[in-house]
Amino acid sequence: MKKLTLGIIAAALSLSAAAQTSEPCGFTKVLDYYRNADPTFQQRFEETFATENRSASKSTGTIYRIPVVFHVVYNVAKQNLHDSVIMNQLQILNQAFRHTHSDTDKLRPMFKPLAGDAEIEFYMATIDPDGKPTTGITRTQTSIVSFADIVNDPTLFNYMERVKKSASGGIDPWPTNRYMNIWIADLEDVTYKQPVLAGYATPPTNPIPPNWQGFQWPPLGDGVVMHYQVVGNNNPHKAVSGHAGRNCVHEVGHFLGLRHIWGDPQDPADTCGSKADDGIADTPPQAAASDINASDCTPYANQNTCGAGMPGDMPDLWENYMDYSNDKCQNMFTVGQTTHMRSILTNQRVTLTYPLAVSDYTLADETFDIYPQPASNTVYVQYDGVIKQLNITDMMGRNVLSFTNNEANVKSYDVSKLSTGNYIVSLQTDNNIMTRRILIQR
């Protein structure tokens, strides 16, 4: 995420008490985590950009709507943000992704043709995974003072991921293939009393490939995590003056497949090279993040870190949500970025957009049954129509089994390779998506 002047502690490397400024967004650390976990991750991540058409396209008129659940995990009262702050953050998300906020006119004229309406909207979940009414906000008081401890956890995630687990002081996610989970908690370092990150999000990696099974680093829980002080622009405990609630916009951009606008190059010497590109054709090359400490947009005015003076080169696009520029300066996604996010919502995150995706029950008058409950090695589906596809996902939203076409219509399925636990079975027909829960027990 961005623009919080962070004191990430140098003790992570030297065990000294010195502090230094670090990235406010944890996305590069998320990528490093996945690269360490799976040597094939980088290639597959690159392919999400390479295999999709990055050319600018006009709006389609189809609005993708994503149900959101905010999990507020607090230790003291000030961290238990009021509903009004969370609803304000939801409004900011919708304005950003529809390009309807009041400061769109501040975009420099040369970039106005590039600004895109993603036609993506977010709404508070109204039905929880058990089919009960909900406000879309959960509240959990925890004994954990802070979920960040860079001295004892230099990787950051072993401690911060606790917020996603009830057993470790946080709260379990709602099924991540049906809801966008956003956790709000204290990410201040317990020793140095400064926020380690303003937030982080997981990229769309599902389905997890078979070679991930059994590796030593567990996949990060899918979703978005935000430091409580950067949520909303009406937050009474806001971290910095002028904060406008756009950190969450940045993180949701990552959740929907966007990189930082400078491309997060692994090679520091390749800041303007081909490997430093963000994979989006209409974002100008940029060598590094814009200054996160700037109090306004003035320092960025003539910034051009790649290709200055070359024919057709454009200056850095510091108005972009995927930069680290000041909240006051950010006001757009490019058409190419919106195209990419929409592509993600028809592929890796397609189940988030299914009609009435907040329900774990039938989505229309159709129904199907799955038995036995619990199951051991085989499950059976009773459904009178033609099954187009059947997917089985775990409770973290990871696809673990898929059956399509003729394979799906045998209506008996081998689940012997699944571990004991709860799973969600999604049955897709030509007109509907239906889901049921299944317990595998041996």
Say what the pLDDT of residue 331 is: 94
| More confident site: 442 or 111 | 111
Q: Which residues contact 43 (CB under 8 A, 6 or more apart)?
A: none
Q: Is the model's pLDDT at 306 over the cut of 60? A: yes
Catalytic positions are: 251
Phi and psi for 337 in degrees, rounded to 5?
-65, -40
| More confident site: 130 or 198 | 198
| More confident site: 100 or 387 | 100
137-164 pLDDT tens trace: 999 999 999 999 888 887 778 889 999 9
Q: Is the model's pLDDT at 52 over the cut of 60? A: no
In a domain, 357, yes or no: no
- 243 and 149 co-located in one domain: yes
Say what the pLDDT of residue 309 is: 65
| More confident site: 347 or 118 | 118
In a domain, 199, yes or no: yes
Last residue of a domain, one of 352, 370, 399: 352
- Whole-model pTM above 0.75? no
Say what the pLDDT of residue 343 is: 86
- 343 and 416 co-located in one domain: no
Phi and psi for 211 in degrees, rounded to 5?
-75, -5
- 193 and 77 co-located in one domain: yes
Total number of domains in the chain: 2
In a domain, 165, yes or no: yes
Say what the pLDDT of residue 7 is: 31
**Average pLDDT score, the chain:** 79
Say what the pLDDT of residue 266 is: 62
Q: Measure the CA–CA gap between 200 and 206, rounded to whole angstroms.
A: 17
Structural domain harbouring 221:
8-352
Average pLDDT of the segment spanning 85-106: 94
In a domain, 259, yes or no: yes
The domain that holds 153 is classified in CATH as 3.40.390.10
Last residue of a domain, one of 312, 332, 352: 352
387-424 pLDDT tens trace: 888 888 876 667 789 888 666 566 789 999 999 888 88
User: Exposed, middle or buried, 244 (CB in 10 Å: 0-12/13-18/19+)?
Assistant: buried
Prior bond to 372 cis, omega within 30? yes
Last residue of a domain, one of 285, 319, 352: 352
In a domain, 152, yes or no: yes
| More confident site: 306 or 96 | 96
Q: Measure the CA–CA gap between 314 and 292, rounded to whole angstroms.
A: 21
In a domain, 403, yes or no: yes
